[in-house]
Structure 1
Amino acid sequence: MPYVFLMAAIAFEIAATSLMKSTEGFTKLWPTLACLSGYAISLLALSQAVKGVPVGVAYALWSALGTAAIVAIGAAFLGEPITVVKVAGISLIIAGVVTLNLGGAH
């Protein structure tokens, strides 16, 4: 069940971050409320996930998968370019998460 909470936390963080641009600097009420609610739900789900997943692993997955998804969403829906540097950065993030997971819980 902790990984279900972790996946929910990631999904809500991605949704909230995707809404960030539409808040126009938190000047638009409904997008702002949706964005902040998404972050709140994400953190609540993450807090439940760390009851059964080491906090370092949970946070690494939460931040890395969220970052990779936001780069993809930016490219697919917001017209942001995918560059070699972005691909290299995401690859390094993924390599870091894999390394953390291979390290186990010591």
Structure 2
Amino acid sequence: MSWVYLFIAIVAEVIATSALKASVGFTRPGPSLLVVAGYSVAFYFLSLTLRTIPVGIAYAVWSGVGVVLVALVGWVLYRQALDAAALAGMGLIVAGVLVMNLFSRSVPH
């Protein structure tokens, strides 16, 4: 169940971070509320995750997958460019998350 909680935390964090741009410095109420709600949900579910998944592993997965998803949301919603260096960096992040999950003895399977 911890991996489901982590997935929920990641999705909520991506929604909140994406809404941050739309909040225009917290001057727009709708997106601003989405930011606060999204981060609240993200941290709550991340805390549930930490009951069984080590904090270093959970945070690495949460932040790594979050970075890649936020970059993709920025590309789709805000038409932000992803050059070769950005794509290579995201590939390395994904590779790192996979290595940690597949080969770390501290990750519960």
Using the size of structure 2 for normalisation, the TM-score is: 0.89
In 1, the alpha carbon distance for the partners of 2:34 and 2:79 equals 22
Q: Which residue of 2 aligns with 1:10?
A: 10
The alignment yields a C-alpha RMSD, in angstroms, of 1.4
Q: CA deviation at 1:30?
A: 2.2
In 2, the alpha carbon distance for the partners of 1:57 and 1:94 equals 13
Greater shift in the superposed pair: 71-80 or 42-51: 71-80
Q: Which residue of 2 aligns with 1:49?
A: 49
Q: CA deviation at 1:73?
A: 1.0
Pairing 1:24–2:24 present? yes
Identity of aligned residues (%): 35
Residue type matched to 1:104 in 2? R
Q: CA deviation at 1:18?
A: 1.1
For the residue of structure 2 that corresponds to 1:74, the secondary structure is helix
Deviations 1:12-41 (A, max 9, x none): 001101101111011222211111110011
Structure 1: 5+ residue runs without aligned partners?
Answer: none
Q: Which residue of 2 aligns with 1:35?
A: 35
Q: Which residue of 2 aligns with 1:105?
A: 106
Q: CA deviation at 1:95?
A: 2.2
Q: Which residue of 2 aligns with 1:70?
A: 70
In 2, the alpha carbon distance for the partners of 1:70 and 1:35 equals 14
In 2, the alpha carbon distance for the partners of 1:105 and 1:84 equals 33
Q: List structure 1 segments (4+ residues) > 4 angstroms apart after TM superposition.
A: none
In 2, the alpha carbon distance for the partners of 1:65 and 1:41 equals 17
In 2, the alpha carbon distance for the partners of 1:80 and 1:33 equals 24
